[in-house]
Amino acid sequence: MATAAATCWFTALTSATGPSRYSLTSQRFFATTLRRHSHLIAPNSETNQNAETHAAVNPNRKSRTSKKPLPSSPRISSAQKEAVGQRFPGTSKDEVHFSRADARGSKTGRSQRNQPVAFKSFGLQKKGNKGGNNVFDIKEQQAETGNFQDAAFLNAVVKVYCTHTAPDYSLPWQKQRQYTSTGSAFMIGDGKLLTNAHCVEHDTQVKVKRRGDDTKYVAKVLARGIECDMALLSVESTEFWERAEPLHFGRLPRLQDPVTVVGYPLGGDTISVTKGVVSRIEVTSYAHGSSDLLGIQIDAAINPGNSGGPAFNDQGECVGVAFQVFRSDEVENIGYVIPTTVVSHFLEDYERNGKYTGFPCLGVLLQKLENPALRACLGVPSNEGVLVRRVEPTSDASNVLKEGDVIVSFDGIRVGCEGTVPFRSTERIAFRYLISQKFAGDVAELGIVRAGSFTKLKAVLNPRVHLVPYHIEGGQPSYLIVAGLVFTPLSDPLIEEECEDQIGLKLLTKARYSLAKFKGEQIVILSQVLANEVNIGYEDMSNEQKQLQVLKLNGTRIKNIHHLAYLVDSCKDKYLVFEFEDNYLAVLEREAACSASARILKDYGIPAERSPDLSEPYADSLGVNHPVEQHEFGDGPVSNSEFGFEGLLWV
């Protein structure tokens, strides 16, 4: 079944390509399994949406309202596109309604290299569209405020104004055009506010405004939890906090409990209140962080700009934070709220470490054991347990678990054959929920069956090490320019920006399925060649061969971009010999390459030949004498059974 990504999007004048990390399955590579024509709501735009005005300002850019046919790729079969597209569906952070699961969107102000998309305006959809929420629907769904009208806790909800400046991953030495958006946040005391991480992503300025006030106050981002889509803000102005009452967190609600969502969504400038009930509580795919954490599904209206706003119970306690919504022609009224258990984990993590360290994982690929014959063959006597199919080399579990082990308990809690554990009194929930309750560095006791015998083991839980990261630490990508050859690490944002056809099926497959063999490993690619006489003959290399992974320099396997810079700097040979995948070769005379660098940088207006992080001394995490195997870096085996098999799950 073809799946399409749900995306956190910004309705903005200058828009960007959307996240590819948001396909839904249990694996980290499928971070959100949502069907076609779906949307995840992010902040509302604060900028002008008029396409004609934008076109007049910059006539070379495409209009957001223009409709063009979607180009097809002649190189990749539809089956291959469907498989790879589960992880890398280029989706827009704009409010767009895709007519195809593999459609591409772009955000104005960012590069327009992606495929064109047929856009549908969010606010102007006619009433009666099955999946559409229009301005009139929004007004009709506003709850009667009743007791909420003068409730003091409504004053704790503020409007967030953010100016974003995202990196240009294709031209990593520069930034993209800035854009603005609005969202919601709320006070939690001690001079701090909570909102969604996607509301303040790539922020250059954040301002907040209280209800009934006309003054905006500058806020500072203290921490971002990408996985849980949470951000912690602070406001230093004492005037902002006058007569402020922070919100109080309530317990995890139950099914059919009433819930009220408060925020500043599309459709007006004042605070909005919508009501509904809790429809479902389960482990949910978080689109922004490509993670699976506990989530609350509600039927209250959640719209652009609601992101970061609180959800209240009838006692006026905050039971969660609105963050995404599932839109499809096949379903209605499916919104999602981050529960207070996840919010508390984020806050405690920050208090413990002074920063956000992330949610840990066990680092294993599991298979359900629903088949009785399979359990009997593995020596599992009862209807329980999950099979360890693969262990991540970078996880602590690789020291204690083996392929073929069956995990039957976690910290004394029995694991069912469907990969679920008891939850509250009469419910069950995905096994990974137990892991998400832990913190980085915590130790878990595992009960396993190995070769028919039961034993107990202990494993340290740490955040997953991604071979291809979903988000770039520090916001700006690394790059190295050698005689016009531009090298950069492969990342999910780069894949989104370049689109699948330019990256190539082989790299996409490797990015999705290969595992990091050690901390710090990267897939380093040749992103482009800046034409110059010193690199004559190579100028079309990246265009003809798509993006190429560089494997070796002068016979030495490349571990990451910093290692490549170190090898170039320390080389004393006459030639620099770059070996790429598919046996592609590029040779440069070292002295000529060095002397041409300054001229190339000047010709192309590039400030430096490398990113600032590569100027730091190189530290080999594996050691200088670490033996290197032929397929050690980024060449993990890919099994056909891992394509969309619902019985598999990463934890």
Check 37, 54, 164, 198 and give the catalytic one: 198
- CA 364, 369, 370, 371 torsion: positive or negative? positive
Check 106, 307, 436, 527 and give the catalytic one: 307
Q: Which of 261, 288, 311 is nearest to 7 (CA)?
A: 288
Q: How far apart are CA 481 and CA 539, in angstroms?
A: 14
**Strand segments (E) across 88-216:** 157-164, 179-189, 192-195, 203-209
Place of tokens 């990969």: 419
Length of the chain, please? 651
Check 203, 229, 299, 396 and give the catalytic one: 229
- CA distances 628 to 466, 519, 583, 625, Å, are 20, 15, 18, 9
Q: Roughly what angle, to the nearest 10 degrees, separates helices 78-85 and 505-513?
A: 40
- A 10 A CB-CB count for 492 gives 24
Place of tokens 């957001």: 64
Strand partners of residue 366: 388, 649
Q: Which residues contact 32 (CB under 8 A, 6 or more apart)?
A: 5, 6, 21, 22, 23, 24, 40, 285, 286, 287, 290
Q: How far apart are CA 243 and CA 535, in angstroms?
A: 66
Burial track 275-290 (b if 16+ CB lie within 10 A, e otherwise): bbebbebbbbbbbbbb
Catalytic: 382?
no
Catalytic: 307?
yes
Place of tokens 């290692």: 563
Burial track 454-476 (b if 16+ CB lie within 10 A, e otherwise): eeebebbbbebbbbbbbbbeeeb
What's the angle, vertex CA 552, arms to CA 551 and CA 558, rounded to 5?
Answer: 75
- A 10 A CB-CB count for 235 gives 23
Q: Where are the alpha helices (DSSP H) in 106-209?
A: 135-141
Structure tokens of 254?
A: 């139950």
Helix (H) or strand (E) holding 346: helix 340-353
Catalytic: 54?
no
Q: Which of 273, 37, 305, 265 is nearest to 183 (CA)?
A: 305
Q: Which of 239, 254, 521 is nearest to 393 (CA)?
A: 521
Q: Which residues contact 647 (CB under 8 A, 6 or more apart)?
A: 367, 368, 370
Q: Which residues are catalytic?
A: 198, 229, 307
